[in-house]
Chain A
Amino acid sequence: MKSNQPEFGLVLTGGGAKGAYQAGAIQYISELGLQPQIIAGTSIGALNGAVLSSYYPFTHAVERLNQFWEQLGEAEILRPHTGALLHTFSYAAQAFVPRLRHWLVDFFIKQGLKHTSTSIFDPEPIEYFLKQAVHPNTLRKNIELWVTVFPSLKIPGLGYDLLIDLIRAKTGSNACWLCLQDCLDDETIYNLLLASAALPLAFPSREINGQNYIDGGLVDNIPLKALAKRGCKNVIVIHLQNGSVWDRDDFPEQTIIEIRPQQTINKSEVPVVGVVESWLNFSSKRIQELKQRGYEDAKCCLNPIIDSLISVREYRQSQISLIDSTEKLLMMLRCE
Chain B
Amino acid sequence: MINTIDKIINKDTSSTNYLSELQQRIPTVSDKALINLVNGIQVSKDIIRYRKNRGFFGKLFDKLDGSDNKRRILLDGNIIAGQEALHNWVLELTDSLNISQVALEVTQKSLLEARNAIRNQKQSLQIQEDKLNQLVTEINFRINNIESRLHQLEIRVAANEDLDRIITAWSAGKTYNNLPWVIQVALLAKEVFSSSVIIYELETGDTQRFRELLVNKIIATDKQLPNSFFGIGDLLDYSSTLIKEDDKELIASLLEIRSFSQQQLTDIPHLFIIGTTLELATLSETAKPEKPGQIAASLCRNQIHPISRTSDTREFITAVVEETANDCLRIIQ
Question: Which residues of A approach B to under 8 Å, CB–CB?
Answer: 242-249, 255-258, 260-262, 264, 269-271, 300-301, 304-305, 308-309, 312, 315-316, 319-320, 322-324, 326-327, 329-331, 333-334
Interface check B153, CB cutoff 8 A:
no
Question: A309 to B54, alpha carbons, bound, how many Å?
Answer: 34
Q: Are B53 and A264 in contact (CB under 8 A)?
A: yes
Q: Are B70 and A269 in contact (CB under 8 A)?
A: no
Q: Are A260 and B43 in contact (CB under 8 A)?
A: yes
Question: A271 to B110, alpha carbons, bound, how many Å?
Answer: 71
Question: A248 to B43, alpha carbons, bound, how many Å?
Answer: 10
Interface pairs A-B: 4 shortest CB-CB: A243-B50, A326-B103, A260-B46, A255-B32
Interface of B: prevailing SS? helix
B295 CB → nearest A CB, Å: 99
Question: A316 to B26, alpha carbons, bound, how many Å?
Answer: 12
B97 CB → nearest A CB, Å: 9
| Residue picked from A242, A316, A327, A330, most chain B C-beta under 10 Å | A330
User: Which residues in chain B, 8-45, are within 8 Å of chain A measured between CB atoms?
Assistant: 8-9, 11, 16-20, 23, 28-29, 31-32, 34-39, 42-43, 45
Given A316-B28, A319-B23, decide whether A305 and B100 contact each other with a Cβ distance below 8 A: no
* Given A249-B81, A260-B43, A327-B20, 19 additional A-B pairs, CB 8 A: A243-B46, A243-B51, A245-B74, A247-B73, A256-B39, A260-B46, A269-B54, A269-B58, A300-B42, A308-B34, A308-B37, A309-B35, A316-B28, A322-B103, A323-B23, A326-B19, A327-B17, A329-B107, A333-B110
Q: Are A305 and B39 in contact (CB under 8 A)?
A: yes
Chain A residue at minimal CB-CB distance from B30: A255
Interface size class of B (residues with CB under 8 A): 35 or more
Give the chain B neighbours of A315 by CB distance below 8 A. Answer: 96
Interface check B49, CB cutoff 8 A:
yes
B330 CB → nearest A CB, Å: 73
Question: A103 to B251, alpha carbons, bound, how many Å?
Answer: 169
Question: Which residues of B approach A to under 8 Å, CB–CB?
Answer: 8-9, 11, 16-20, 23, 28-29, 31-32, 34-39, 42-43, 45-47, 49-51, 53-55, 57-58, 61, 67, 70-71, 73-74, 77, 81, 96, 99-100, 102-103, 106-107, 110, 113
Chain A residue at minimal CB-CB distance from B42: A301
Our pick among B18, B42, B77 for the contact of A260 (Cβ within 8 Å) is B42
25 contacts between A and B (CB under 8 A): A242-B49, A247-B74, A248-B36, A248-B43, A249-B81, A255-B36, A257-B39, A258-B39, A258-B42, A260-B43, A262-B45, A269-B58, A271-B57, A271-B58, A300-B42, A301-B42, A305-B34, A309-B31, A309-B35, A319-B23, A324-B20, A327-B17, A327-B19, A329-B106, A333-B110
Question: A326 to B18, alpha carbons, bound, how many Å?
Answer: 10
Give the chain A neighbours of B35 by CB distance below 8 A. Answer: 255-257, 305, 309
Give the chain B neighbours of A300 by CB distance below 8 A. Answer: 42
Given A261-B46, A271-B57, A330-B8, decide whether A255 and B31 contact each other with a Cβ distance below 8 A: yes
Give the chain B neighbours of A331 by CB distance below 8 A. Answer: 16
Chain A residue at minimal CB-CB distance from B103: A326
Give the chain A neighbours of B34 by CB distance below 8 A. Answer: 305, 308-309, 312
Q: Are B99 and A323 in contact (CB under 8 A)?
A: yes
Give the chain B neighbours of A326 by CB distance below 8 A. Answer: 19, 102-103, 106-107
B40 CB → nearest A CB, Å: 8
Q: Are A308 and B28 in contact (CB under 8 A)?
A: no
Q: Are A269 and B103 in contact (CB under 8 A)?
A: no
Q: Are B106 and A330 in contact (CB under 8 A)?
A: yes
Give the chain A neighbours of B49 by CB distance below 8 A. Answer: 242-243, 262
